[in-house]
Amino acid sequence: MSSSDPKTQEVPKPSFDDPESKEAIESFIPTKTLEETDQTNAPMSENQEEEEEEEEEEEGECGFCLFMKGGGCKDSFIAWEDCIKQAEEKNEDIVEKCFEVTSALKLCMEAHADYYEPILNAEKAAEQEAVKQLEKEKEEEAAAATEKSESHEKEK
């Protein structure tokens, strides 16, 4: 519900799919070179090296990953992401290998539902659609079995 009073208008939730949001996200990513920051000859501390690596990783990250890391579940998301990568590299069953970190991430997201609401809502909608699809398939299988049974009885 919106009103003509600008003070009471709803602010749209951020979307990471549109070009303006992508541009805004990219504007937060540091793009200075070592020369520009005047640190070319200064030795880096261990923390600075880790920060540099994180910045490099974030430059190519998708909007979803940036969103997930922007909330209170950053550590849980990174653990989940690492688990998925390891399972894929070793051709392991992702569901089995990453069950615990996935559960921890989901619990964390539910605890921070105010931030992660769009993701939780999308997940809930996907689950509902999967249940509908399974029910439809069961109905079709039951109808096919009934039809087969009836045609088998007519043959007798």
Q: Which two tokens stand for residue 88?
A: 């894929």
Q: Exposed (0-12), middle (13-18) or buried (19+): which is 3, by Cβ within 10 Å?
A: exposed
pLDDT in tens, 64-89: 999 999 999 999 999 999 999 999 99
Half-sphere exposure of 88 (CA within 13 A, CB side): 6
Please tell me whether the overall predicted TM-score, pTM, comes out greater than 0.75 for this model: no
Q: What is the pLDDT of residue 153?
A: 72
Q: Which two tokens stand for residue 120?
A: 């939780």
Domain boundaries, the chain: 63-147
* Most confident residue range from 12-16, 58-62, 104-108: 104-108
How many contiguous H segments (helices) and E segments (strands) does the chain have? 8, 0
106 neighbors 79 (Cβ within 8 angstroms): no
